[in-house]
Structure 1
Amino acid sequence: MAVAVKGSITVEGQEITITNPDKPLWPDMGITKRIYLEKLAVLSPYLLRYCRDRLLTVIRYPHGVDGMSFYQKNAPEPLPPFVRTAVHEKITYITLQGLPDLLWLGNLAALEFHPSLHYAGSTLPCEWMIDLDPSREVEPRIMEAASIVGQVLRSLGLLSVPKTSGATGVQIIVPVHPGVTFEELRRIGHFVGRFVTEKHPDLFTLERLKKNRGDRIYFDYLQHYGGKTLAAPYTPRARPQATVSTPLLWEEVERNVSPLDFHLLNIEERLRSIGDLIEQLPPQPVEAIITQLS
């Protein structure tokens, strides 16, 4: 897809207005809105997989990452006819369906995509996500922490996929069968979190208040809740380096890769070579652990 000039483009039969295609969005990386929309089109088969039919919150940066920003939960008006919505707790959320919706949001300078952890109209999680949240802006131990959690999950018979948040943290994703509840997954999360904090008290904490964490990494199992959001796999992030939330191989975690290694200008090559690591992992037998913890 090429976005050449100001005007409109037709995508999958839908006309989308494009404004200010030469506006810098990530100036340090030379990424204009035109380039961003082209990269969104590349990311769309992967990003949409984890946003489609979920309640979507976006973060918009009308003047690029160096300018002001705002969270948008309520769908803006007027809406194009192809954009679908769902009401949840009196908020009218966008529920992404396809590339036209994604590019329409991209033109509005939506630079980050934060979907709910469940589908619109459902109370059940789509997957299990553990959020490892550093207390420091630069945390050289984040991959060490992810590796420890991955090893504990493996000891429980669960395979998982780590992903960079695209910012400072790491999420660990465990695919699950439909029917498992948020409460059950939080129970396992608390069990694993308590174990790693007892084994590595200088590295992990379960303390919710940031001011009380010191320099420890917060093992956030409570974020896994109906209505909560986390940065979607493959969402861009509004960081100067145009980083992308990227699933990783465990070997990369062991090599202590940097989240800065994965950004809008190189993600296409990575996806072409290794594909979507999350999709490649089948649902894991969390039910057996839930039964043991009951």
Structure 2
Amino acid sequence: MAVTNPAKLLFADGHISKRDLIDYYRWVGPRILPFLRERPIAMERYPNGIEQTGFFQKSVPSYFPDWVKTIAVQKKQGGIARHVICNDVALLVYLANQACITPHAWLSRVDKLEYPDQMVFDLDPSADTFDWVRAAALALKELLQELTLSAYVKSTGSRGLHVIVPLKRTESFESVRTFARAVATIVVMQEPSQRTLQQRTGSRHGRVFLDINRNAYAQTVAPPYAVRARPNAPLSIPLFWEEVRSKTLRPDGVTLRDIRKRLDGMIDPWADFRRRASALGSAWRKLELLGVSVRVPQKAKLR
């Protein structure tokens, strides 16, 4: 594939070119592709660099070559959209050449789009309160472990953290979102002065927003190792839980320039992510034993 305008600066502050972005995605392909394969992708593109306005593109442009794998999916508001499916390094590199800084992936795979294989808690600070974000993430981990669910954490590359639970594909998005809301409610009640479920920014009053709204059909998440469209090209990085306890942790602390040093000889914190997938059946019942009132969606089955 011929690279177009390789010297074009996509991150002027860090002097990071399109060639740098392409080289990075080619190198990190084996690590990021397990979180992209067989999932519809939304492309976050900045053809003129991040200093200029970018755009999200869900539907595949007409000029994409025939070898690009796609899937037609039903849109929430009706109609059909054709999304990219990124299964190999060649396509990942092609997307980078299209100035796709971040490929955002669905939480479900093409053979079972209505059933997610992960549950996401997006911890979003309302102010410079990252210590509160770390505390909320650790509280989530403790509660999820009590519910016998595996919890993994990654930086967003922006301001917060993602806590993600790998799931067996036995529950609908509606069911998973209901469960996530119940869990988030408990964690908020533990520290209501620091945490909130209020979606409106003006109602958060400086508290950390525990966002569970990504747990819905056609919602996406930046996968591990994705570049984010922020100054100096920070990455969304899988973390060890021990790192979350450190006050030196920053959500944008690892960049495209220094990722190789971090990963050199390092064990992957998410190496067993897929093998630890769980059904929610027993976790639903454990929530009820904790005295949580959970309105289970009509279509959801307690297993």
Matched, 1:213 2:204: yes
| Residues 1:156 and 2:147 are matched in the alignment | yes
1:170 and 1:20 map into 2 onto residues whose CA distance is: 34
**1:45–1:145: structure 2 CA closer, same or farther, 3 Å change rule?**
same
1:31 aligns with 2:32: no
Q: C-alpha separation between the residues in 2 aligned to 1:132 and 1:216?
A: 10
Cα RMSD, aligned residues only: 1.8
The alignment's TM-score, normalised by the length of structure 2, stands at 0.86
Cα offsets for 1:150-198 (capped at 9, x unmatched): 1222222223111111111211111122323323322321221111111
Contact 1:130 1:172 in 2 (8 A): yes
Matches within 5 A, 1:1-294: 16-88=1-73, 89=75, 90-122=80-112, 123-136=114-127, 139-256=130-247, 257-281=249-273, 282-284=276-278, 286-292=280-286, 293=288
Contact 1:234/1:245 (8 A) holds in 2: yes
* Partner SS for 1:273: coil
Residues 43 and 268, structure 1, Cα contact 8 Å, conserved in 2: no
- Displacement of 1:275 in angstroms is 4.3
1-side partners of 2:129 and 2:42: how far apart?
Answer: 26
Counterpart AA for 2:101: L
The residue type paired with residue 111 of structure 1 is: I
Give the Cα–Cα distance (whole angstroms) in 2 for the partners of residues 81 and 137 of structure 1: 46
Shift of residue 66, structure 1, vs aligned partner: 1.1
Q: 1:240 to 1:72 in 2, by over 3 A?
A: same
Deviations 1:130-162 (A, max 9, x none): 111222366442222212211222222223111
Q: Deviations over 1:45-90 (max 9, x none)?
A: 1221111111111111111111221111111121222201111121
Moved more, 26-35 or 92-101: 26-35
Q: Following TM superposition, by how much is the alpha carbon of 1:261 offset from its aligned partner in structure 2, in angstroms?
A: 1.9
* Aligned 8 A contact 1:46 1:276 in 2: no
Identity among equivalent pairs (%) = 29
Structure 1: runs of 5+ lacking an equivalent: 1-15
Aligned residue for 2:107, secondary structure, equals: strand
Gaps of 5+ in 2: 289-301
Aligned partner of 1:211: which letter?
G
With normalisation by structure 1, the TM-score equals: 0.89
Q: Deviations over 1:106-128 (max 9, x none)?
A: 01110011111111252110212
What is the rounded CA distance, in whole Å, between the counterparts of 1:73 and 1:285 in structure 2?
Answer: 30
- Secondary structure, counterpart of 1:260 in structure 2: coil
1:190-213 CA distances to partner (integer Å, 9 max, x unpaired)? 221111111100111111222211
| Aligned equivalents of 2:170, 2:263: Cα separation in 1 | 30
What amino acid is the match of 1:287? G
Three-state SS of the structure 2 residue aligned to 1:63 is coil
1:17 touches 1:104 (CA, 8 Å); kept in 2? no
- Please give the alpha-carbon distance, in whole angstroms, between the structure 1 residues aligned to 2:284 and 2:142: 19
Q: How many residues align?
A: 279
**Range moving further from structure 2, 280-289 or 117-126:** 280-289
**Which secondary structure state, in structure 2, belongs to the residue aligned with residue 198 of structure 1?**
helix
* Runs of 4+ with deviation above 4 angstroms: none
